[in-house]
Amino acid sequence: MAKQVISTPVIRRLPRYYRFLGELEREHIERISSRELAMRMGLSASQIRQDFNCFGGFGQQGYGYHVKELREIIGNILGVHCKTGVILIGAGNLGKAIASHVDFRKRGCELIGVFDNNPLIQGTSTADLPIMPMESLDNFCKQHHPQVAVLCIPKDAAQQLAEQLISLGINGFWNFSHFDLRITNPDVIVENVHLGDSLLTLAYCMHRHENE
């Protein structure tokens, strides 16, 4: 099988496939055709078949796809069984919510450390983890080698901290800090989440809709 490059739109759809297949499994549905899945997901059957065939032929002519099997395959592609070490920086409202609300384990990640520079909350804990002072960051990374950092910090601190973290071995960022990290190192992966942009997009659509 030639190792082709998977396009971004396909990658972005994978977690959604995984989610819908989980749903189907919970509904005890054993097999599904691309046509049925397309209807549920609001995609085209053609697109679904194209997407899956980026990775290989998981279906069976005349039958469709075996839900459980397909879900496992996509889970493996996504790496849900990995145990990537994750630290979270900034245990304010948002940081704490993410630490406790997001199921890292289900997604191949393990939250192993939480840091904040506010002495008032150091020592308290979130998601069963003690909030550590920033001064411990260095030693912690040297000891536990986390790979991913979740940034829930103000935007002015983001770029500098990111660079420090890279030097400590971090090569993946889940960035909530209202600032687009620009990392030149091609081995570092950044996933920017801009909640504000998302709300603004919704606001625009509502606003436009009104004026039509």
Partner DNA sequence: TAGATTGTTAATCGATTAACAATC
77 binds DNA (CB under 7 A): no
State which of residues 4, 62, 103, 182 lies at the interface with DNA (CB under 7 A).
62
79 binds a copy of itself (CB under 8 A): yes
Give the interface segment with a copy of itself, choosing from 27-35, 63-71, 135-143, 194-202 (CB under 8 A). 194-202
129 binds a copy of itself (CB under 8 A): no
**Beta carbon nearer to DNA, 9 or 186:** 9
What's the CA gap between 70 and 15, in Å, rounded? 13
**Beta carbon nearer to DNA, 7 or 124:** 7
- Pick from 9, 8, 59: which is nearest to 34 by CA? 59
State which of residues 54, 121, 171, 183 lies at the interface with a copy of itself (CB under 8 A).
171
**Beta carbon nearer to DNA, 57 or 92:** 57
12 binds a copy of itself (CB under 8 A): yes
Region for residue 160 given its phi and psi (left: phi exceeds 0; alpha: psi -120 to 50; beta: otherwise): alpha
Cα dihedral 114→117→123→125 (10° resolution): -40
Do residues 52 and 59 lie in contact, with contact meaning Cβ atoms separated by under 8 Å? Answer: yes
187 binds, among DNA, a copy of itself, none (CB under 5 to 8 A by kind): a copy of itself
What is residue 91's DSSP assignment? -
Do residues 19 and 75 lie in contact, with contact meaning Cβ atoms separated by under 8 Å? Answer: no
Q: Which two tokens stand for residue 61?
A: 């002519």
Q: Which two tokens stand for residue 206?
A: 């509502």
78 binds, among a copy of itself, DNA, none (CB under 5 to 8 A by kind): a copy of itself
Q: Which residues of the shown chain bind DNA in the complex (CB under 7 A)?
A: 7-10, 32-35, 43-47, 49-50, 52-53, 57-65
